């Protein structure tokens, strides 16, 4: 039974990745479904870490620290050798 659940989960993840590539990242289907393409492109930006976290998620967790290094801050905090 668990084999089927795992198989369905893997297929669902694969279909999501295919949808992001085929539609959201300026694929061949992006002209036919522009709203879905915009949503998939936004999802791709979030998966790449290029977009800010959604406000609903920030509100849910109350505070999400920004762990990405800032260029000026990271240079000032670098250890001296």
| 44 within some domain | yes
How many domains, the chain?
Answer: 1
Domain, as residue range, for 14? 2-66
| 31 within some domain | yes
pLDDT at res. 50: 86
Between residues 7 and 53, the one the model is more confident about = 7
The answer to whether the predicted template modeling score (pTM) of the entire model surpasses 0.75 is no
pLDDT at res. 8: 94
**C-alpha–C-alpha distance, residues 66 and 81, integer Å:** 27
| 76 within some domain | no
| 79 within some domain | no
Alpha-carbon distance values, 11 to 18, 20, 48 (Å): 10, 14, 21
């Amino acid at each position: 039974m668990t084999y089927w659940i795992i198989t369905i989960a893997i297929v669902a993840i694969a279909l999501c990745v295919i949808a992001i590539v085929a539609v959201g990242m300026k694929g061949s289907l992006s002209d036919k479904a522009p709203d879905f393409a915009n949503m998939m492109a936004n999802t791709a930006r979030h998966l790449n870490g290029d977009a800010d976290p959604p406000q609903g998620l920030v509100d849910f967790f109350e505070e999400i620290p920004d762990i990405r290094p800032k260029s000026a801050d990271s240079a000032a905090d670098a250890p001296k050798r």
